[in-house]
Amino acid sequence: MRMVAEEMRMDTKPLRLSYYGQCYRYEEFKTGRYREFFQYGVELIGASGPLAEAEVLALAVNMLHATGLEGWEIRIGHVGVLKDALTGLGLSSEVDVSTGEPPIASAMRLLDKGDDDGLAELFTTHGLDASNAEPLRALASLDGGMETLGPARELLSSMDGVSLEALDELETTLTALAALAPAPPAMAVDLTVARGLDYYTGMVFEVKVEELGGEGQVLGGGSYKLLHLFGLPDLDPCCGFGLGFDRVLLALEAQAAASGREEAVPGEADGRPYIAIAPNKADHMPLLPLVASLREAGARVELLLSKKNYGRIIKWTEGIGASHLLVVKPEDVENGVARLINFKTGDRSDVELNATSVMDAL
């Protein structure tokens, strides 16, 4: 029985996990880069390859569509494309004692910086033809989506000993993504991505939003192996991403402000009337049935529980964002009529202290 249970647990792979919580970083604070921030994460553990990567990418794309975020760009690459090219040319992945980093990492860094002379010098130092830098620079200069894969294939094929396996995997991933998720607002293929050489193992991607400037990346991830960095055995292949909750909200707020929308997040604005009821030296108890009736009629109602003068009542109403204020004095309770103020228009009207009269006056 125990063996059957173990086998059943193994059959549940790949694991699809998600989390949300607080994260911390030790650095100077600035807008979009807080010391305490909130992250939503997704991990697919126990499967690798283009289909697993496409599943993770599709979830990221669908999540961002669901937020209502506009104009974002997703950049997708594969660390294997450049790594395989450099390995095929003869660069080592072992640390060079003179530079403190593997020659492959040095080449990737120089390509990322656009340092053509430095790249040619690196090749010469390691006994390679400096002209190999030219097709790599052309590869780094490709700009576009899936249409860049054809020219990339030609460039990689022109270099002796370079494998096209990673490029084939990326093409399959992008094809599967197109079938699984709606098209993103903009998509770019980055074939010379240099980040995370020791962390990421396959497809990598990031999402940027123009409105956030230098802190515009709101989501990023890819296929990776992590635990070996902590001296632990690696898990099965993993693919996942982290979404910066704070940055997505900041981007939504910026886009809402630019377009004059009241809602930053779809569905954020509650369409129900929001009524503040403030007894002004009046007893609360006679107003409780009115509060209950208005709530039952579909209104949002907030009853002022403390005693404030008229000026503070106005500030309190503005502070909670109520659309209307019903001020009730002791004589209003006796007469059954009170003053209703519309905070959007400034209009004032006298209403009977019953739900029907108040709702009709909104």
| Residue pLDDT, tens place only, 292-318 | 999 999 999 999 998 889 999 999 999
In a domain, 54, yes or no: yes
In a domain, 268, yes or no: no
- Residue 339, pLDDT above cutoff 70: yes
**Are 203 and 324 members of one domain?**
no
Q: Would you state the pLDDT for residue 8?
A: 44
Edge to edge, the sheet with strand 15-24 lists: 15-24, 36-45, 238-244, 217-224, 200-208, 73-78, 186-190
When pLDDT is averaged across residues 346-360 and rounded to a whole number, the result is 94
Tokens of residue 116, six digits: 């053509």
In a domain, 265, yes or no: no
Rg for the chain, CA atoms, rounded:
30
Spacing of C-alpha 232 from chain mean position: 29
**Are 209 and 301 members of one domain?**
no
**Are 135 and 255 members of one domain?**
yes
In a domain, 209, yes or no: yes
The CA–CA distances, whole Å, from 307 to 280, 281, 311 equal: 7, 7, 12
Tokens of residue 108, six digits: 């990737």
CATH number at residue 13: 3.30.930.10
Least confident of 114-128, 162-176, 265-279: 265-279
Task: Give the residues across from 15 on adjacent strands.
Answer: 45
**Are 149 and 32 members of one domain?**
yes
Tokens of residue 15, six digits: 């694991």
Q: Would you state the pLDDT for residue 113?
A: 81
pLDDT tens per residue, range 118-170: 888 999 998 888 888 888 889 888 999 999 999 999 999 888 888 899 999 99
Q: Would you state the pLDDT for residue 5?
A: 45
Number of domains in the chain: 2
**Are 313 and 351 members of one domain?**
yes
**Rounded percentage of the chain residues whose pLDDT exceeds 90:** 49
Say which amino acid occupies 65. Answer: H
Domain, as residue range, for 191: 2-259
When pLDDT is averaged across residues 200-204 and rounded to a whole number, the result is 89
In a domain, 156, yes or no: yes
Q: Would you state the pLDDT for residue 243?
A: 94
pLDDT classification of 10: cutoffs 50, 70, 90: low
**Are 219 and 93 members of one domain?**
yes
**Are 129 and 152 members of one domain?**
yes
pLDDT tens per residue, range 15-66: 899 999 888 877 776 665 767 778 899 999 888 899 999 999 999 999 999 9
Q: From CA 111, how far away is CA 96, in angstroms rounded?
A: 18
Q: From CA 10, how far away is CA 60, in angstroms rounded?
A: 26
Where does residue 71 fall: left (phi above 0), alpha (psi -120 to 50 degrees), or beta otherwise? left
List, as one string, the DSSP characters of 195-259.
Answer: TTTTTEEEEEEEEE-GGGGGG-EEEEEEEE--GGGGTS---S-EEEEEEEHHHHHHHHHHHHHHH
In a domain, 323, yes or no: yes
CATH number at residue 349: 3.40.50.800
Q: From CA 25, how far away is CA 297, in angstroms rounded?
A: 47
Q: Would you state the pLDDT for residue 198?
A: 66
Q: Would you state the pLDDT for residue 94?
A: 87
pTM of the model: 0.75
When pLDDT is averaged across residues 256-277 and rounded to a whole number, the result is 83
* Residue that finishes a domain, picked among 202, 233, 259: 259
Tokens of residue 275, six digits: 């009524």
Q: Would you state the pLDDT for residue 4?
A: 44
**Are 10 and 152 members of one domain?**
yes
Spacing of C-alpha 327 from chain mean position: 44
* Residue that finishes a domain, picked among 212, 231, 259: 259
Tokens of residue 239, six digits: 């693919």
**Are 96 and 227 members of one domain?**
yes
In a domain, 267, yes or no: no
**Are 248 and 280 members of one domain?**
no
**Are 243 and 314 members of one domain?**
no
More confident residue, 284 or 226: 284
**Are 195 and 144 members of one domain?**
yes
Tell me, what DSSP letter sits at residue 68? T
* Residue that finishes a domain, picked among 208, 230, 259: 259
Q: From CA 99, how far away is CA 108, in angstroms rounded?
A: 14
Whether the CB-CB separation of 355 and 297 falls below 8 Å is answered with: yes
- Residue 1, pLDDT above cutoff 70: no
In a domain, 264, yes or no: no
